Structure 1
Amino acid sequence: MGFKRGSGILLHISSLHSHYGVGDLGPEAFGFIDFLAESGHAYWQVLPLNPTDASQGYSPYSCYSAFAGNPMLISTEELYRDGLLDEEDVAPFKKDNEGRADFSFVSKYKAFALEKAFRRFRHGVADKGEFELFCQANVLWLEDYALYVVLKSKYKTSWSSWPKDIRDRHLPTFRSLLKTYSVHLEKQKFIQYVFFRQFEKLHRYAASRQIQIIGDIPFYVNHDSADCWTSPGYFKLNSKKLPRKIAGVPPDYFSETGQLWGFPTYNWAALSRNNFDWWVRRIAHNLNMFDILRLDHFRAFSAFWEVDAAEETAVKGSWMPGPDMALFQELERKLGDLPLIAEDLGSLDEDVYALIAATGFPGMRVLQFAFDENVGINVHSPHLHVSHGVVYTGTHDNNTTIGWFNASGKEEKRRLSAYVGKKVNPKNVHQVMHRLALMSVADIAVIPMQDILGLGEGHLMNRPNSTGNYWRWRMTEEQFLSVFPPMLKKLNELYGRT
């Protein structure tokens, strides 16, 4: 499936400026869509929107549901406009945006706000017909997710440590739990209803301004997740429902010992026997939300790096076969054309290239990877890009372009300057790389917001295989207002991206 030539900006919703501790689905998100439209962009790329928490460092790639939305991204301002909160429920929680998301504060504040909104909802402030339709439309995941959240709150441990009859989902116990916790379950369903209602409103507005939203699907899900508890047979677990095998990647550009992610690997044989039903539902669910989907860690659909759960690094692993074309043939049969982007970075082989060619999905090119000693034949170099592709200056896992340049060696800097025919320095490198991305023949060019703003290493979103306070970067209102949309629009017009 081809995409229209255009440019976009990579900015997670949590990174929007706002007055309540984290970017959310409120007024600033609508304002960002206006900015995209006025500056001649056609795409907004976000990171996964699924729920995460402090135990996972709030990483959007480490979530406890592959279907649910993150309650922290719900806008309390929108709840106020809908009559589900009073002004005094919102105003006291305003706080300065210092360029970092305060997830700890937000999780407590929004828990309070959503509890109050739910009480109002139950007492008839809003029409429940739309809520019931939402619950019916999402019945295949919503009930299990709600019960998982309620039980997780009760037991404070991973589901594999819950009482055996609950852990193993014995039917009489399951039915009893649904009755015992009916009000608590309704609250969790309400929270999801609010999230998806707000996101759908935002998506409709984006469409009205001719902006397409690019979503992102992590390949794996957490062991401690509603999905793993609900469908343990689809994962490689032992008799105690703990992971036997875990996922990662071998040593690569980002780490000498590889990356050990800890996610349980899939039991693809079991998934295949059921026509990949869980994956079909997952992709369909996300295609209802987004215009285009980026499949993270695409190489694992061909073969994935699997490590014994007892290992402490990813070095002692082995490549195991993935579902290959069988999954995508089933997806196409069930869902039709698939507007997907293959994240084809990292350690690849001929089988991966063959799979990408067979699917016809566009791949990714990252300019920060282009200027090594093989620049002349490096597929990330602009002269070797193809139209059916997506080019980035960097991704959420890269340094900012200024940070990358400052950390680069003299030869890499020299090659970049030679390539563009002018002296490149820390003050202009983000502008140079922005232009290189726009002038590429790749259909879509995506620029991280940090590179639009010209920010350094202190503003990166993530550093792979590292611990620390990542995923917290936020754009301030002052930074946002410093960007001049007509200038960006002229660049997009110059390179045929409007």
Structure 2
Amino acid sequence: MPFPRASGILLHPTSLPSRFGIGDLGPEAYHFVDFLADTRQQLWQVLPLGPTGHGNSPYLSYSSMAGNPLLISLEMLCDRSLLYPDELHDLEQFSPHQVNFDEVIPIKMRLLERAASRFHEIVSDEDKHALAQFSEECHFWVDDFAFFMALKNAHGGAGWTEWPSSLARREPEAMAEWREKLASDIFCHKFLQFEFHRQWQALREYARDRQIQIIGDIPIYVAHDSVDVWAFPHNFMLDGETLAPALMAGVPPDYFSETGQLWGNPTYNWEELKSRGFNWWIQRIDALLDYVDIIRVDHFRGLEAYWGVPAGETTAMNGTWIEAPGAELFETVRQKLGTLPIMAEDLGVITPEVEALRDEFEFPGMKILHFAFGGGSDNPYLPFNYVANSVVYTGTHDNDTTVGWFEKISDYERNRLVQFVGCLSPEGIHWTMIRIALMSVANQAIVPLQDVLGYGSDCRMNTPGLSEGNWGWRYQADVLTTEVRDRLRWLTELANRAPNRSE
């Protein structure tokens, strides 16, 4: 679906300022929305919002439909007397520049559990009714998720295939017994989902009132250790004996890796999904649209054909391309949910078939300026090769910051860039690249906040392939200065990307 001309900022909520060790949905989230409105942005792109596991990657979540309780604002819980301000002091010791996940998570989760334990005593009948209504409306995922997390806690955080076989295989008698045993913990996880939903919807409404839409990511695959695979094993290619992935996801060897990338997620059992009318996918997309306005499909090419690697392989070299029913999926979703507000992450080696699938449904593809200045004039990431129905980025969360990128590129790329723009902005290379993105014909232009601020490689969000040190970057509130606001607003208006406030 072509989108109107607009621009926005890429920032995950964990990167927001707060006094409590990790960004959240409290006051600073609203201040960031004000910054977007002040600078005439219309888009806020976040990464996946789900609860994260090992490595803290939002792309490896325990659920494709749940929210991350670590984003819940403790200050807002204090406003409702579910917590008290003096209980938050342990979280005020942490650096404002980086999330120390290992230390923040246990402290914050204890506080969230305490708030859940006070719910029945403190809150109004109206809140209790709202929780019951949320549970009913989200029953298709929240009951299984709350039970899954309670079971995971009860088994020391072990993956579900390491639980007793009766639970791993969801035998009714064992399920009933453990549901009763873990009733209090199950309620806690359900309450946290309710509270995340309540706080997120309030923030989303605040953004919507300021003509700002939220773009949310949908990772194509889900983690093996997730409620999705445990509760719906028939949807995935699993070994019937071990319940491990029988066919793993990844990408084949290429210029960047001689052995390819072996992600380890189970691939989909597309025949089974199709026989059920793609019901799980429809529920997943519908659940995400309850949180965001536009969906960016990560690894979009895997919905046309995916690289499947047999169990037992230690690299992605011995995989094969397998056709996926992407067109049937999107047509079914469109019939059920209507117009598809989808952007396609179509980076990498993309075939004509993938482009045809993208274009059949008019999904805008991605253009990355960091990739534009290698090669020749036919480079698809050079702005004069764009079509209007596309989304241009200076870089993404997987790229270095623009300042860091510019320091490392070859002389050839640097010379090509200078020749393209004529001269570099005296305010810094980041403003040169922002200007190129905003002035392009692409309908949408997205800039990571690190690039707006001119930060270097130490503020990079993620380095693919590194198992540690990712996802933790945060900014401080005082860096969104009047000078930064004025320059971004001026460029946005000059590029004809500002909203029409009379609408």
TM-score, normalisation: structure 1: 0.96
Question: Equivalent residue for 1:80?
Answer: 78
- C-alpha deviation, 1:48, in angstroms: 0.3
Confirm or deny: 8 A CA contact 2:30 2:206 kept in the other structure: yes
- C-alpha deviation, 1:212, in angstroms: 0.7
1:205-235 deviations in whole A, cap 9, x for unaligned?
Answer: 0011111111111011111111100001111
Map 1:88-167; keep pairs closer than 5 Å: 88-126=86-124, 127-156=127-156, 157-167=158-168
Confirm or deny: 8 A CA contact 2:17 2:475 kept in the other structure: yes
Greater mean alpha carbon deviation, residues 181-190 or residues 6-15 = 181-190
Cα distance in 2 for residues equivalent to 1:491 and 1:481: 16
- C-alpha deviation, 1:423, in angstroms: 4.7
Greater mean alpha carbon deviation, residues 465-474 or residues 268-277 = 465-474
Q: Helix, strand or coil for the counterpart of 1:216?
A: strand
Cα distance in 2 for residues equivalent to 1:202 and 1:461: 23
1:8-27 deviations in whole A, cap 9, x for unaligned?
Answer: 00011011111111111111
Question: Equivalent residue for 2:501?
Answer: none
Cα distance in 1 for residues equivalent to 2:343 and 2:239: 34
Question: Equivalent residue for 2:429?
Answer: 429
Q: Can you give the 5+ residue segments of structure 2 that lack an aligned partner in the other structure?
A: 499-503
Q: Can you give the 5+ residue segments of structure 1 that lack an aligned partner in the other structure?
A: none
Cα distance in 2 for residues equivalent to 1:151 and 1:353: 43
Amino acid at match of 1:174: M
Question: Equivalent residue for 2:60?
Answer: 62
Question: Equivalent residue for 1:314?
Answer: 316
Confirm or deny: 8 A CA contact 1:365 1:389 kept in the other structure: yes
Question: Equivalent residue for 2:50?
Answer: 50
Amino acid at match of 1:203: R
Distance 1:99 1:162, change over 3 A: same
Cα distance in 1 for residues equivalent to 2:458 and 2:83: 37
Give yes or no for the alignment of 1:7 onto 2:7: yes
Distance 1:22 1:323, change over 3 A: same
- The size of the alignment, in residue pairs, is 494
Question: Equivalent residue for 1:327?
Answer: 329
Q: Helix, strand or coil for the counterpart of 2:340?
A: coil
Confirm or deny: 8 A CA contact 2:404 2:456 kept in the other structure: yes
- C-alpha deviation, 1:255, in angstroms: 3.3
- C-alpha deviation, 1:254, in angstroms: 4.5
Amino acid at match of 1:69: G
- C-alpha deviation, 1:482, in angstroms: 7.0
Question: Equivalent residue for 1:370?
Answer: 372
Map 1:348-363; keep pairs closer than 5 Å: 348-363=350-365
Give yes or no for the alignment of 1:199 onto 2:200: yes
Confirm or deny: 8 A CA contact 1:71 1:110 kept in the other structure: no
Cα distance in 2 for residues equivalent to 1:5 and 1:395: 19
Question: Equivalent residue for 1:439?
Answer: 439
Question: Equivalent residue for 1:233?
Answer: 234
Q: Helix, strand or coil for the counterpart of 1:94?
A: helix
- C-alpha deviation, 1:321, in angstroms: 1.0
Map 1:167-182; keep pairs closer than 5 Å: 167-182=168-183
Question: Equivalent residue for 2:461?
Answer: 461
Cα distance in 1 for residues equivalent to 2:316 and 2:404: 27
Confirm or deny: 8 A CA contact 2:372 2:381 kept in the other structure: yes
Amino acid at match of 1:443: N
Amino acid at match of 1:281: Q
Q: Helix, strand or coil for the counterpart of 2:466?
A: coil
Confirm or deny: 8 A CA contact 2:49 2:58 kept in the other structure: yes
TM-score, normalisation: structure 2: 0.95
Cα distance in 1 for residues equivalent to 2:255 and 2:149: 37
Q: Helix, strand or coil for the counterpart of 1:464?
A: coil
- C-alpha deviation, 1:347, in angstroms: 1.8
- C-alpha deviation, 1:481, in angstroms: 3.8
- C-alpha deviation, 1:260, in angstroms: 1.3
Q: 2:302 aligns with which of 300, 303, 314?
A: 300
1:151-173 deviations in whole A, cap 9, x for unaligned?
Answer: 11112321112112111111222
Tell me how large the CA RMSD over aligned residues is. Answer: 1.5
Distance 1:168 1:250, change over 3 A: same
- C-alpha deviation, 1:175, in angstroms: 2.3
1:342-384 deviations in whole A, cap 9, x for unaligned?
Answer: 000012111101111111111111111111122x111111111
Confirm or deny: 8 A CA contact 1:21 1:97 kept in the other structure: yes
Cα distance in 1 for residues equivalent to 2:444 and 2:264: 33
Q: 1:281 aligns with which of 276, 280, 283?
A: 283
Cα distance in 2 for residues equivalent to 1:110 and 1:122: 20
Cα distance in 1 for residues equivalent to 2:257 and 2:39: 37
